Structure 1
Amino acid sequence: MTLEDLKNYAPYIDQHIEKVLCDFAEEVQLEVDDEQAIWALSTIREYALRPGKRLRGALAACLYDAKTGETYAEVGLSLAAVIELMHDYLLILDDVMDRSATRRGLPTVHEQYQKQFSHIGADGFESDMMAINVGLLVQHIASWSLSGMDVNTKIVQQIMHRNIGITGFGQMADVAGTITRPTTSEQIIKKYYKKSSIYTFVNPLLCALALAGDTDETAQQQVEAFGLPAGLAFQLRDDWLGIFGSPEESGKSNLDDIHEGKNTFLVQETLGRCTEAQKKTLLEIIGNEQATEDDLKVVKDVMVQTGAVDVAQVLMEKAGREACEAARASSLWASDFADLLRQVVQYSMERIK
């Protein structure tokens, strides 16, 4: 199995996402009778089908096929669509939290709402609340679809909601974890396990195993042995891309995390290694909504000079090695799927968006 095999799932997943959204729209058509409701369903479809990797859904569908011997199984693809919609729900909320103007190179939901409904005086607060409600609607659509599948999904639903719940705790920690509040690198890593590892790797793999009827009692332990360090490596690369990456590639501004004042592992390590004068400068920039590209360059320079970038790189590579070793050692999948997971981890650490 190769990354190309995984990428080939994307168009099939998109077809299933579109079907879920069409089926739900038909189910509630009599209630969609005002501007906001019509806009919400239209926006969800546009947002969910924006070009993307569909990594989480593809991992679930691919593992389901590997366990059952099928190819592009409808059941596995239906699960993949649910997982991707859950991903969209979290992204929409994340965009509000980060005050992001763009996602995948296009306007975020709250930005779209404010522009669409400027004629009725929609302000920032209203737009944020509408986006949060759209995100919750996406979550409900995903849950509705999962519960309506032709197979028994009770265990899958329990796994899904537990994991997305844990992700919610991570998101809450992210909101509270601003640069002005004391924390440690260890606490940030624990937050990353919750907000990235669980829903990016642990949830898709555990749900796929459960759907395929794998009742191995050590499944959660084995999946987490892979998924927690894999997600940490993924998030550390995300932190680097958020500052040093190309906005044209990522579809997000490099100033988003700066404006929000987010205390990432990279920021925390920088603050712990810089001089008092540098720290004073950083604290004046990070969290300042008026910070500019020149300010961003200052932050980048200090991160490099203090060695914080190198520390994060070493930790990312260590986490990547741990994940690959756990993938190879697991009894839950064959060696070809373990090799695919190794490729995913390597891609996660080298990606440019």
Structure 2
Amino acid sequence: MSDDEVTRQMGSRITQHRDRFQDLFQKYFAQLHASSDAPELSRFAPECLRMVEELALRGGKRQRVAFAYEAANLVPGGAMTVKAVDIAALSIELLQAHLLIHDDIIDNAATRRGGPSTYYAYRDKFPDHPQHALGFAVLAGDLALVLSQQVITEAGLDPWLAQSMAAVQNTAGLSTFIGQVFDLERDFLGVPEEELLHSVCDFKAARSSALAPLQLGLLAAEQDPKEHEPTLRRYSTSFGISGQMRDDYLSLFGNEEVTGKPATADVADGRVTYLIRRTLLAASESEQKILSSVLGHAGATQTDVDKVREIVTAHRVDQSLLADMRRFAELASTEAEQWASWAEADAVAFFRDVPVWGVQRLL
């Protein structure tokens, strides 16, 4: 099967999960509004929930949700309970909403998922009260975090299952917090080693976006993920690194209308991504001066981005990154193939093929 066909099939499969989940998510927020215990005299408390809802329902590809449902399908015998995996999916996306809201505050990012970030939406609402706008955005992110745990603990699941799912989400959240700190720390290190970028990616993204959904899906199907911990971690790390390399590539070469992020964002931030790191190491002295003049400047223009692109392509850094992106995707695929000894073939095929989709989509 060609990469294009694999990408089409995986895209269709993930879309099915996304569409089903979107209906579930809308009903969840409707029930939450109906049962909200916000003070009657407060205008901003209900607004905070609406801001979380707006970002959450705006949605993305819902890859994490698909991972949870497909992980539950890995377990032979159809032991999955729909309620349990639905609760897992809700918790995953609420935690993701929290992480995105706070990530956009940290990065001072104006857009997210093709619309305004929660932080900038509050800034637009309260232009004369910037500190209040920041506070409201922080609290919206905190609310999403609390809801991600509440949806598990108040779902009426078996106590062992609820406790196990909550523990997975606690660990995923903690790993991401550590990853965020490490991500900021790397900006003080000049040009970091690539292994450091791998570690940032593992903590900040892979553990919450791939590993936790896998663990939650297995739990929903009454299988202890600790039985498969090493291989799940290897898979998630390789998948996560491949995905981060793709995102770094798209940040410079992607279509803004598709990525929902301005092409100037990473240049203006001056973040030493996989792509920028390799470019800095390959650049000549004169090119280094150009990069120094545009990277990290808040007023970066499209012309500045074009200058960076020219240096990247001149040294074929883009091709080098694409090759490594595919290499890590293949490592994840190979890892998933080993699951055939204990898992259902159709779900194994999903996890074997989805790294290809991760590389090919949007490229």
TM tier relative to shorter chain: over 0.9
State the TM-score, normalizing by the size of structure 1: 0.92
Q: Residue 300 of structure 2 aligns with which residue?
A: 291
Distance 1:128 1:258, change over 3 A: farther
SS at 1:9 equivalent: helix
Deviates more, 1:96-105 or 1:209-218: 209-218
Quote the RMSD (CA, aligned, Å).
2.1
1:350 matches 2:363: no
Q: Residue 25 of structure 1 aligns with which residue?
A: 33
1:41 matches 2:49: yes
Q: Residue 81 of structure 1 aligns with which residue?
A: 90
Distance 1:32 1:69, change over 3 A: farther
1:13 matches 2:21: yes
Q: Residue 282 of structure 2 aligns with which residue?
A: 273
1:122 matches 2:124: no
CA contact (8 A) 2:38 2:45 kept: no
- Match for residue 154 of structure 1 among 163, 172, 184: 163
Shift of 1:65: 4.1
Distance 1:72 1:12, change over 3 A: farther
Q: Residue 56 of structure 1 aligns with which residue?
A: 64
Distance 1:56 1:33, change over 3 A: farther
Shift of 1:180: 6.8
1:317 matches 2:326: yes
Shift of 1:179: 7.4
CA contact (8 A) 1:99 1:260 kept: no
- The number of equivalent residue pairs is 350
Q: Residue 3 of structure 2 aligns with which residue?
A: none
Shift of 1:23: 3.6
Relative contact order (C-alpha < 8 Å, sep 6+): which is higher?
2
Distance 1:211 1:32, change over 3 A: farther
Shift of 1:199: 1.3
1:306 matches 2:312: no
CA contact (8 A) 1:110 1:131 kept: yes
Map 1:97-246 → 2, pairs under 5 A: 97-118=106-127, 121-123=128-130, 125-152=131-158, 153-178=162-187, 181-215=190-224, 217-246=226-255
Shift of 1:24: 3.4
CA contact (8 A) 1:167 1:199 kept: yes
Q: Deviations over 1:176-212 (max 9, x none)?
A: 3337734211111111111121111111001111232
Distance 1:332 1:206, change over 3 A: farther
CA contact (8 A) 1:202 1:227 kept: yes
Deviates more, 1:31-40 or 1:128-137: 31-40
SS at 1:24 equivalent: helix
Once residues 216 and 234 of structure 1 are traced to their aligned partners in structure 2, the CA distance between those partners, rounded to angstroms, is 23
SS at 1:231 equivalent: helix
Q: What is the letter of the counterpart of residue 155 of structure 2?
A: M
Shift of 1:349: 0.6
CA contact (8 A) 1:21 1:141 kept: no
CA contact (8 A) 2:49 2:143 kept: no
Deviates more, 1:40-49 or 1:241-250: 40-49
Q: Residue 333 of structure 1 aligns with which residue?
A: 343
Deviates more, 1:171-180 or 1:42-51: 171-180
Once residues 55 and 327 of structure 1 are traced to their aligned partners in structure 2, the CA distance between those partners, rounded to angstroms, is 16
Once residues 131 and 46 of structure 1 are traced to their aligned partners in structure 2, the CA distance between those partners, rounded to angstroms, is 13
Shift of 1:216: 5.5
Distance 1:136 1:216, change over 3 A: closer
Shift of 1:17: 2.1
Once residues 283 and 129 of structure 1 are traced to their aligned partners in structure 2, the CA distance between those partners, rounded to angstroms, is 34
SS at 1:214 equivalent: coil
CA contact (8 A) 1:105 1:250 kept: yes
Shift of 1:36: 2.1
Once residues 190 and 350 of structure 1 are traced to their aligned partners in structure 2, the CA distance between those partners, rounded to angstroms, is 24
Shift of 1:270: 0.8
Shift of 1:264: 0.5
CA contact (8 A) 2:198 2:241 kept: yes
Once residues 286 and 218 of structure 2 are traced to their aligned partners in structure 1, the CA distance between those partners, rounded to angstroms, is 52
CA contact (8 A) 2:94 2:145 kept: yes
Once residues 186 and 296 of structure 1 are traced to their aligned partners in structure 2, the CA distance between those partners, rounded to angstroms, is 26
1:91 matches 2:100: yes
Once residues 167 and 114 of structure 1 are traced to their aligned partners in structure 2, the CA distance between those partners, rounded to angstroms, is 25
Once residues 180 and 284 of structure 1 are traced to their aligned partners in structure 2, the CA distance between those partners, rounded to angstroms, is 19
Structure 2 unmatched ranges of 5 or more: 1-5
Distance 1:217 1:51, change over 3 A: closer
Deviates more, 1:24-33 or 1:215-224: 24-33
Shift of 1:15: 2.7
Deviates more, 1:15-24 or 1:258-267: 15-24
Q: What is the letter of the counterpart of residue 53 of structure 1?
A: K
Structure 1 unmatched ranges of 5 or more: none
Distance 1:163 1:233, change over 3 A: same
